[in-house]
Structure formats: structure tokens, C-alpha cells
């Protein structure tokens, strides 16, 4: 059984830009440069669910964190965060290395740096309570494959090495 036991958690839209609110998608499908780099380094990819998609579906308007921040949406994010921590603990308890989380800068749900998104707030809160420390990076707000991808890949290498 060939497993290197190295995993990274990624925001949903890194693997599926089709779930991004119209017109903010920046790729036709996945962020190829990021995914190819993870694959080339034999890193397992755990895709987080998209809370915005779960809450409002595909035909939603762009919204701010403040607009999303209500009890129903928080509860969706708490459930996703709880489930994610169960997954992370299972990996860790079985000798895996969870290298970190890749978020989306300025996302109302998945931003990690600066003003944290709602999902990342909930996830990091539970991880902290469980004394689980993970590294993290955000995909740049203006990221596009081929444009600035080399700059991001340098940051990605710091996370996965």
C-alpha cells in the first residue's frame, strides 16, 4: 500500500471553481497550477464543503461576511467545522501528517489571513480547543493560473515541505 500519509485541507473552490458565486470564478474548473503542484508532491487533498453553496446554492448573489453572518449560516459552518475536525483527528490518530489548510483570501467564509471567513473562524476555534495546530495559507485575491501562480507556488512549497 503506497501512502505517504501527507494531507492538505483545501477550500472547496480550489478544486471546483464552478461552485463560486457568479461572476467571481477565476478558473474554468480547478486551480490547475495549485492542484498539479500538490499531486506532483504526492500530497493528499481533502476538499472542504462550500458553506455558501450549501446555504444558497449556485444562483446566489455576491455577499459580504456581515451579510452571511447569521445563526443559520453559522450553524452550517459549525457542522462543517465539527465534521472536518473529526476527519483531521482520524488522520492524525493514524500517523498522517496534516500539513495545513489552504483558504481563499477575502472570502466571506474561507479567508484565513486578515478578516477570517466564517468557516475558518469556526474551524480554527474547534482546532484550538482540541490543541491541534495547523499551518495555513490563502490563495491570493487576484490569483489566476499562470498569472502570479509562481508566486503562490513558492508559498505553497513552504506549507508542504
Cβ atoms < 10 Å from Cβ of 79: 14
Give the model's pLDDT for residue 118: 99
pTM of the model: 0.95
pLDDT above 80: residue 147: no
Give the model's pLDDT for residue 23: 83
40 touches 26 (CB < 8 A) = no
pLDDT above 90: residue 139: yes
Give the model's pLDDT for residue 25: 85
Mean pLDDT (the chain, rounded): 96
Indicate the pLDDT class of residue 76, thresholds 50, 70 and 90: very high
Produce one character per residue of 113-138: b if its CB has 16 or more CB atoms within 10 Å, e if not. eeebbbbbbbbbebbeeeeeeeebbb
pLDDT above 90: residue 12: yes
Domain positions in the chain are 6-160
44 touches 82 (CB < 8 A) = no
Indicate the pLDDT class of residue 131, thresholds 50, 70 and 90: very high
Question: Alpha-carbon distance 39 to 152, whole Å?
Answer: 16
Give the model's pLDDT for residue 24: 84
Output the CATH code of domain 6-160. Answer: 3.40.50
Give the residue among 66, 70, 85, 80 at the shortest CA–CA distance from 119. Answer: 80
The residues, ordered by sequence, that sit 6+ positions from 141 with a Cβ below 8 Å of its Cβ are 105, 106
> In this predicted model, what pLDDT tens digit does every residue of 89-124 receive, in sequence order?
999 999 999 999 999 999 999 999 999 999 999 999
Indicate the pLDDT class of residue 74, thresholds 50, 70 and 90: very high
Give the model's pLDDT for residue 22: 84
pLDDT above 80: residue 148: no
Give the model's pLDDT for residue 127: 99
Give the model's pLDDT for residue 39: 98
Amino acid at each position: 500500500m503506497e501512502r505517504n500519509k501527507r494531507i492538505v485541507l483545501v477550500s472547496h473552490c480550489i478544486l471546483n471553481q464552478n461552485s463560486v458565486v457568479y461572476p467571481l470564478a477565476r478558473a474554468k474548473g480547478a486551480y490547475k497550477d495549485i492542484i498539479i503542484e500538490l499531486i506532483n508532491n504526492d500530497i493528499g487533498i481533502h476538499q472542504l464543503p462550500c458553506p455558501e453553496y450549501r446555504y444558497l446554492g449556485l444562483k446566489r448573489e455576491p455577499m459580504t461576511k456581515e451579510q452571511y453572518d447569521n445563526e443559520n449560516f453559522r450553524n452550517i459552518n459549525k457542522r462543517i467545522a465539527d465534521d472536518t475536525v473529526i476527519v483531521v483527528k482520524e488522520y492524525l490518530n493514524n500517523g498522517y501528517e496534516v500539513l495545513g489548510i489552504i483558504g481563499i483570501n477575502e472570502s466571506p467564509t474561507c479567508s484565513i489571513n486578515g478578516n477570517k471567513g466564517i468557516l475558518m473562524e469556526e474551524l480554527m476555534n474547534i482546532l484550538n480547543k482540541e490543541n491541534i495546530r495547523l499551518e495555513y495559507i490563502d490563495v491570493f485575491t487576484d490569483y489566476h493560473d499562470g498569472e502570479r501562480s509562481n508566486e503562490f507556488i513558492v508559498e505553497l512549497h513552504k506549507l508542504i515541505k
